[in-house]
């Protein structure tokens, strides 16, 4: 019986250790730091640095914003309902067809979507690019991967509505696309059109995808990270389901995905598309692209598809 107790105690210690490590990693994944050093690649780390990263996670630096928009624009400061200040760039076109609200992905900033913004501006639209909370020049250091960022989308949407704009289009990539869906579900905002690039189907699936890209076993790590990440930000993260939010979407939708995407699967993309309630929806797959800027990878196709969708 003693050996059974030893095995039991060993399993308990292992269980606690794995959960502690998962809690540390979840916390680091949902936080960005202004004073953090650039993240080293594994091959650049010393033995001690690797052990520290394995057990305690990595401190990720807050994204630096570089203003290379190249368009005349205003820097706009907005307040969310939970009192965080966001920074946006608002470029107004002389004879705009409407306004496109643009939202970046996790760990990026408005600087990361400048190329897309300039092209959409050239197509005849006002564009407003926003740093999500904890990203770029916006306040905060905690990200919820879209759970609370829906308030950021709402703040930008309300600002443009107050300008009297009637044709409001939302464009989002990765977390930005998932967050746009959450804002529609949670606040009932009504864009004229919605453009989604590579949104994840659920936060749990997004964590699984990240584990795969890091060449780590998806389970039980993704379940533990999702659980602890949600607990640390005060939310049941398993309920963060863009594929379910899609059921509230009634405007025309363009969903785009790269066939080489290692983070977001074709299956979850198809499920999300089928759940979109709108009768006006189209899905385009980019055969040469992964989880990256579809515009930069397949420029001609992206421009052609966007022109068709925006003008139809």
Lowest-confidence range among 43-52, 96-105, 229-238? 43-52
pLDDT of residue 51: 66
pTM of the model: 0.92
**Mean pLDDT, to the nearest integer, of 43-57?**
69
**Mean pLDDT, to the nearest integer, of 223-247?**
94
Q: How far is CA 21 from CA 28, 146, 224, 246, in A?
A: 11, 23, 10, 34
Percent of the chain predicted with pLDDT > 90: 71
Cβ atoms of 30 and 3 closer than 8 Å:
no
Lowest-confidence range among 40-54, 175-189, 230-244, 264-278? 40-54
Rounded distance between C-alpha atoms, residue 281 and residue 206, angstroms:
23
- Residues contacting 266, CB < 8 A, separation 6+: 257, 259, 285
Q: List, for residues 105-162, the tens digit of each pLDDT value.
A: 999 999 999 999 999 999 999 999 999 999 999 999 999 999 999 999 999 999 999 9
Average confidence score pLDDT of the chain? 91
**Mean pLDDT, to the nearest integer, of 244-249?**
98
Rounded distance between C-alpha atoms, residue 33 and residue 131, angstroms:
15
């Amino acid at each position: 019986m003693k050996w059974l107790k030893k095995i039991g105690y060993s399993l308990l210690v292992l269980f606690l250790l794995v959960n502690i490590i998962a809690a540390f990693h979840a916390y680091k994944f949902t936080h960005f730091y202004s004073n953090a050093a650039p993240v080293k690649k594994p091959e650049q780390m010393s033995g001690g640095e690797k052990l520290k990263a394995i057990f305690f996670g990595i401190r990720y630096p807050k994204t630096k914003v570089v203003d290379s928009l190249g368009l005349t624009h205003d820097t706009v400061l907005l307040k969310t309902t939970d009192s965080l200040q966001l920074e946006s760039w608002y470029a107004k076109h002389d004879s705009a067809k409407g306004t496109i609200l643009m939202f970046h992905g996790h760990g990026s900033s408005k600087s990361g979507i400048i190329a897309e913004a300039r092209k959409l501006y050239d197509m005849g639209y006002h564009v407003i690019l926003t740093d999500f909370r904890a990203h770029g020049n916006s306040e905060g250091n905690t990200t919820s991967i879209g759970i609370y960022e829906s308030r950021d989308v709402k703040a930008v949407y309300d600002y443009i509505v107050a300008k009297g704009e009637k044709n409001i289009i939302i464009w989002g990539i990765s977390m930005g696309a998932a967050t746009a869906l959450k804002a529609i579900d949670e606040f009932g905002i009504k864009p004229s059109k919605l453009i989604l690039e590579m949104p994840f189907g659920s936060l749990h699936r997004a964590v699984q995808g990240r584990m795969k890209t890091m060449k780590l076993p998806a389970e039980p790590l993704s379940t533990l990270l999702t659980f602890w990440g949600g607990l640390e930000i005060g939310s049941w993260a398993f309920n963060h389901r863009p594929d379910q939010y899609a059921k509230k979407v009634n405007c025309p939708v363009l969903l785009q995905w790269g066939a080489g995407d290692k983070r977001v699967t074709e299956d979850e993309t198809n499920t999300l598309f089928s759940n979109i309630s709108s009768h006006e929806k189209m899905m385009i797959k980019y055969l040469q692209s992964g989880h990256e800027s579809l515009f930069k990878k397949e420029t001609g196709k992206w421009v052609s598809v966007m022109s068709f969708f925006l003008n139809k």
